[in-house]
Amino acid sequence: MESSREDEEPVGVALFVDGPNVLREEFDVDLDDVRRAAEAEGPLVTTRLYLDEHATPGLIQAAEARGFEVVITSGDVDVKLAVDAARFAAEDRMSVLAIASRDTDFKPVVETANGYGIRTLAIAPGEFGRSDALRNAANGSVTLEEANGEDDETNGSGDEDAADWAGDEDADGGDAADGDATDAEPGDSETDSGATADSAPE
């Protein structure tokens, strides 16, 4: 007799990080903070960082040193991440899906996981460009900027490669600026630091 999900022990948290969308100079994201936000939901069963071909060797090495499985794709990072997350849900390989991104395009993946009875968590690097649609679709949400406060200044990723890569490539950075940002108003294209949601400083 097959056991139902309710009869089984939770299998843990699957963390998927949208690198080009999150690892941007204006956010100074610490991958350890992303990991801790997911671990607050339970033990991690997978920790993946998705990057494109513009990622520097230094960034890849830093991520691997922090225990992340780095997935490089020459195509659309969003598509690869979404397909993998949906497969994890369909194969019942997690009890919690945590997605770190500002991209509203992941809303269908979150809703799919919810349909399988999987708890979902949306992790955003900061308030600017944060997707309300993604947060509302998920069972829970974390904004690293709010959770860490001033600690962000001293506990940043420390990876200059991440900032350099974000400054060189902003292919996915504009995905969040689609009307769901809580701090962005029509016609307001700048953050407090002068960086736009669609491009990182040179």
CB 154 within 8 A of CB 109: no
> Is 80 exceeded by the pLDDT of residue 144?
yes
- If one compares 126 and 44, the residue with the highest pLDDT of the two is 44
pLDDT score for 25: 85
pLDDT score for 9: 55
- If one compares 190 and 131, the residue with the highest pLDDT of the two is 131
pLDDT score for 11: 82
pLDDT score for 89: 95
- If one compares 116 and 11, the residue with the highest pLDDT of the two is 116
pLDDT score for 202: 39
| Helix/strand/coil percentages in the chain, nearest 5 | 40, 20, 45
CA distances from 80 to 52, 73, 158 (A): 10, 8, 27
pTM, two decimal places: 0.72
Q: What superfamily in CATH does domain 9-172 come from?
A: 5'-nuclease (3.40.50.1010)
Question: pLDDT tens across 51-86, in order?
Answer: 999 999 999 999 999 999 999 999 899 999 999 999
pLDDT score for 62: 95
What is the average pLDDT value for the chain, to the nearest integer? Answer: 78
Domain residue extents for the chain: 9-172
> Is 80 exceeded by the pLDDT of residue 179?
no
Sheet strand arrangement including 140-143: 69-73, 44-52, 13-18, 96-100, 119-124, 140-143
